[in-house]
Amino acid sequence: MADDPFALFDAWFAEARERELNDPEAMALATSTPDGRPSARMVLLKGYGPRGFDFYTNLDSRKGNELEANPNAAICLHWKSLRKQVRAEGRIERVSDGEADAYFATRARDSRLGAWASEQSRPLDRRETFEERFAEVKARFDGQDVPRPPRWSGFRLVPHAIEFWADRQFRLHERRLFTRAGEGWTEGLLYP
């Protein structure tokens, strides 16, 4: 047994970065409306540590609106080639503007431009409309830095539970559950 789930996550994530064929940072994010209607989608893990798991989005997207209205969520990273997954559940908090600015600056220029052009999750009449908006934004920022849009930022899932699942023969899987206990963690096992 261990006492730090983030140390274990660090080891598993390092293995995934080395051996997972596609997008080891891809994770399912589950949110829900205030009245409990669930929604899930894939996002990219962009940071993690003792404070939680970070990802970024348009704050006016469906997930952004749901997280603002109901700051409880769950994530799941599944590494098929490793036959492992990590699930976490917890409360959502916004990352600081400095953190959001720093991450946004690392994105490819076209990704930064796309964040300005997209009204994420809003209805789109035709693909050409988005392509026209992208071209307009590209011209607007020609020869200049592309700053972070005001309604684009990040969230951090601050977990109260983290489960590590490892595949075992005959579906006799291993499940290790870390539960927050004050400033630390307790660990136990779950039946598969």
> Which of the 8 DSSP states describes residue 74?
E
Cβ of 143: how many Cβ atoms within 10 Å? 4
pLDDT at 3: 79
Range of the domain at 99: 5-106+153-190
pLDDT at 70: 96
Whether residue 45 lies inside any domain: the answer is yes
pLDDT at 171: 87
Catalytic residue status for 171:
yes
The greatest distance separating any two alpha carbons of the chain, rounded to the nearest whole angstrom, comes to 59
Whether residue 126 lies inside any domain: the answer is no
pLDDT at 159: 98
Rg (alpha carbons) of the chain, rounded to whole number: 19
Which residue of the set 62, 171, 175, 176 is catalytic?
171
CATH number at residue 89: 2.30.110.10
Whether residue 148 lies inside any domain: the answer is no
Whether residue 141 lies inside any domain: the answer is no
Q: Could you tell me which of 24, 18, 9 has the C-alpha nearest to residue 88?
A: 9
In the block, residue with structure tokens 């009449």? 125
pLDDT at 150: 95
Question: Average pLDDT per run of 10 along the chain, which is 192 residues long?
Answer: 86 96 96 94 97 97 96 97 97 98 97 95 94 97 97 97 95 94 93 94
pLDDT at 21: 87
Whether residue 170 lies inside any domain: the answer is yes
pLDDT at 1: 52
pLDDT at 16: 97
Number of domains making up the chain: 1
